[in-house]
Structures are given as C-alpha cells and as structure tokens.
Amino acid sequence: MSFLPYVPFAHALVAKQDLPIPAWLFAWAASIVLIVSFFALSAAWRKPKFEDERWRPAAGWLPTALLSPALQVLCGALGVFLLGVAAYSGIHGTEAPDRNFAITFLFVTAWLGFPFFSAFLGDIFRFFNPWRAIGRVAGGGFRLIAGQRAAHLRYPDRLGRWPAAVGLLAFVWLEVVYGSSGGVSVGLDPHAAGVAALVYSAYTLAMMALFGVEEWCRRGETFAVFFGMFAQLAPFGVRDGRIGRRRPLAAATHWATVPGSAAVVLASIATTSFDGAQDGALKAAIQNTMEAAEKIGLSPLDALRWTDTAYLLVTFAGVAIIYALGVRGMRSVPGAPPYKTLFRGFAHTLIPIALAYLVAHYFSLFVYQEQAQFTYLLSDPLGTATTDLFGTAEAGIDFKLLSPNLIWYVQVASLVAGHVLGLTLAHDRALVYWKDYRRASRSQYWMLAVMVAFTCFGLYLLSVGNG
Amino acid sequence: MTAAAHILALPLAHIGHWLWVFYLIPVLIVVGGIIHTTRADKRRKKDGRGH
C-alpha cells in the first residue's frame, strides 16, 4: 500500500467537480481580481461616467415595429394566455411538480428567463406582463363605456417599491419554503402554484384599479419591478414612447431613488443565497432548529416551514447588515452625505450582483429545465400523459449537456464579473458624492470589503451546494 | 484498512465543517487592511496637526 496518510473524510467533502485547485482558492483569486479592479478604478477613473445615460433614439423600422400597437396587443395576449395555461395546468394537472407545466413555467422559464434577457435587451416583460395587458384592456373598456378616464388614488410616495420587495420575498417563500419537499428542482405542489397565480392576479388587478396600471407596474407589481430592475443594466431603453440605445449600466444609477428599491435588490440577493444555503451551508443549522421546534409541539411540516421562514428572514437581515456596514464605513470618510442618502445612493450597485447570484445559482437549472419546458411540458402541459401537442411528450432532459466543471466556471465567472461591475458602479457614484477623487476612492475601500464579502459568501454557498 | 494505515490516519473526519474559514480569510484580509490604513491615516493627520 501507499505510505501516504489515509484521510478519512466523514462527509461528502469531495465536490462533484474535478477541479485542478481547491474551490476555496477561487474565492482568493476572485478577491484578488476585485482588489486589482479597485486600484485600477482608483487610478484611472476620476470623473463620473454613468450619471448621464447618453440615450439616443434607435433608427430603422425595427424600433417602431416593436412598439407598434399590434405587437403590443399580441405580446400582451400571449402573456395572458401563458398565465392562463400555467394556472389551469397547476390546478387541473398532475401533482408531480416536474411533469406539470405550471411549476417550470412560473419558477424557471419566467422567473429566471426574464432577468437574464432583460439585462441585455431591456424591459421586455413590460410587453408580456399579463396583468398590465388585462389592466389596459379594462381601462380602455371603462373609457369607452364611461366616456372618461378612470380616477385613481394617489400612490403614497413613501410606500415606494416596498410592496414589490414584500412580494418578492413572498414569491420565493412560496417556492423554497412552502414548497421545500425536496427531490425535484422546485418541489411546490402545482395546485398551490396555480391557486397562488390566481390570488396574485386578483390582488394585482385590484391594486391596478386603485392606483392605475402604469403606476402600480412601476412601483408595486413584484414581477414588473423585479425584472425591470435588471433591465436597468441593458443598453436599450424606452423613453417618450421611443426605443433607444443608452450606455450599459447607466440607467441603474437613477433606479434606486424610489423608497424600497434597496429592499428589492437586497431581497433578491438574500433569497437566492437562502435557496443555495438551504440544502448546503445552512442545512445542519436548519435541521437543529427544526428539531427544537418539533420539541415544543409543532408538527414536522410546520416546524420545517417556520424554521425555513426564520432562516430566510435571517439571511435577508444578514445581507442587509453587510451592505449597511459598508455604507456605515463610507459615512466615516470626510465630506460624506447623510447615511440615508448613501444607503439609497449605492443600492443600484448591487443589481449586477443580484444578477450574478441568479446566474451562478440557477444557470444549470435553467438549461436543464428549459429542455423540459420546450419538449414534454409544452406537448403535455397537464402532465397527465393524455396529450402530445407537438410530438415531444416522450422527450427527456440531457443532463450531460453541461459538465460539472463548466457549471462551476460559469458560476465563478458570473460572480466575479457581477462584483467587478458592482464595484465600478459604486466607484462612479462615489465620484458624484465626493468631488475629490482621492476621498471617493477612500470611501470605496468599504464597498470593496462588501464586494469581497459577497463574492466569497457566494462561492462558499456554491461550493457547499455542489459538494 | 491495515494497522499501518490506521496509525497514519489523520484526524480530518470533520474538516469539511471548517472549510468556510478559507472563504473568510480574504474578507478578513481586506477588512483588516482597511482598518489598518484608516487608523494609520488618522494617526498621521493627528501627528501633522501636533507639529
């Protein structure tokens, strides 16, 4: 036998990847990339560049065609139809989450697809938003019958995007806490998903009736706000009814001025982190707390849900505290604006990180589940094996499409890129608040710490999750 | 496992629980660096004012 010492690892320490270096070294490398980027920004970037979007209208027939009423009606109708199919298949289809159209469509195709594409193409959800489409038709109908525009309540400014932040937490809670039955990618009972879609539709339409369709979409509608947040990174945007090109990332600089915006982006990072940590880094802690909850008389399912809920909120608080500490640090630099201004003023720098977390955590799930979405789930939406609309009901998922190493490298690359972009946005904003670029750079030491913390935290969650 | 292997076995059965430390070190280095430079900066300013 070999004389090398035998190392008895008790748990699944060996990750699925066959990496040439340990996973934690990637965290070190990512930190070095961030530190080098930080010093490069300090040395070479001395004037703010992102405050002005440099929006200019796009020429040609395509922008006009994209905003044509006919296409908007078509996209809106498609959105309403797909929401209807999802709700119907959820309520009347199979109870197996992985065979039911509703679960994959709502929690993978729409939930992950729109952020990915919005970040490059702009606010595409606006055209497909089913509630906006219904609201606009209802508003048009009202105008036709009553001969006047519907009167709406004034949306309270202080409420800002808080309803969307709460909605975001509730949506993810439904998926990862209420539906955490394990075994499949999204374990939520399709019936519950279908009912939730209908309840959310009723709530959204009521709010649109109260405050107006566009106002509610701008501030309160969870999905419009969440997907719209990522659209701020895109090089395309609509202004005064025209599509135009703008400097990438620049639109984000004015996004977080509305109250509650910081909560939306922090909730996005926290919910993704919790989803990753639930079966990895936090697994033992959740198990222990759950056992304690059972001892005080809760049923196993209630104990699991209450425990998961508590840890989801703790994760949200933890992410918010890391960001708040960074802001607190910046406040110590002479010439700093008030804490509240800084807290809100730097929130947009977290948008690329929120996107990076989504890509890192769900990239492989998205690639695998979309194969199901566009084959057997499309042919047999109810999952009852009674229909084969497109002849693909017998298809399966090719899990060999992505190698474990490729997944890991995409995860690392997205996290590093997201944090470097976040650091760049933060440096740019600091140059607005501190006219002296040396002080601006000094204030950004703290954001560097926040970015390094989020990068290492993200890679740790992924390494444990992959293990 | 032979007796020799038992003797050479390292007590690393639960090392997996401590891997998070490796992820924390870069964060501590950066935070430590910030605190150190900030304090040094303040000290330098104080000394400058004293002269």
Q: Which residues of A touch B9 (CB under 8 A)?
A: 5-8
Interface contact B7, partner A, CB < 8 A: no
Contact B27 A452 (CB under 8 A): yes
Q: Quote the tokens at residue A339.
A: 């804490």
pLDDT in tens, chain A (467 residues): 333 333 333 333 334 456 677 888 889 999 999 999 999 999 999 999 999 889 998 888 888 888 899 999 999 999 999 999 999 999 999 988 888 999 999 999 999 999 999 999 999 999 999 999 999 999 999 999 988 888 889 999 999 999 999 999 999 999 888 887 544 455 688 999 999 999 999 999 999 999 999 999 999 999 999 999 999 999 999 988 889 999 999 999 999 999 999 999 999 999 999 988 888 888 889 999 999 999 998 888 889 889 999 999 999 999 999 999 999 999 989 899 999 999 999 999 999 999 999 999 999 999 999 999 999 998 999 998 888 888 888 888 888 888 888 998 999 999 999 999 999 999 999 999 998 888 999 999 999 999 999 999 988 988 887 65
What gap in Å lies between CA B48 and CA A28, rounded to an integer? 37
Handedness of CA A332, A334, A339, A342 (dihedral sign): negative
For residue A14, the model assigns a pLDDT of: 33
Q: Which residues of B touch A8 (CB under 8 A)?
A: 9, 12-13
Nearest chain B CA: its distance from A282 CA (Å): 11
pTM of the model: 0.89
pLDDT in tens, chain B (51 residues): 556 666 566 666 666 778 888 899 999 999 999 889 888 888 888 887 544
* B13 → closest Cβ in A9, A31, A452: A9
Contact B22 A7 (CB under 8 A): no
Nearest chain B CA: its distance from A102 CA (Å): 37
* Residues facing A428 on adjacent strands: none
Nearest chain B CA: its distance from A168 CA (Å): 29
ipTM (interface pTM): 0.75
Contact B38 A332 (CB under 8 A): yes
Q: How many helices (H) and strands (E) does chain B have?
A: 2, 0
Nearest chain A CA: its distance from B18 CA (Å): 11
**A residues 11-30 near B, CB within 8 Å?**
11-13, 22, 24, 27-28
Contact A449 B13 (CB under 8 A): no
Nearest chain A CA: its distance from B41 CA (Å): 11
For residue B19, the model assigns a pLDDT of: 81
Closest listed residue to residue A122, CA positions, set A226, A227, A215: A227
Using alpha carbons only, give the angle A190, A194, A198 rounded to the nearest 5 degrees.
Answer: 165
* B34 → closest Cβ in A3, A24, A445: A445
Residue of chain A whose alpha carbon sits nearest to that of B31: A449
- Which residues, other chains included, contact A433 with Cβ-Cβ below 8 Å and sequence gap of 6+? A335, A336, A337, A341, A342, A345, A440, A443
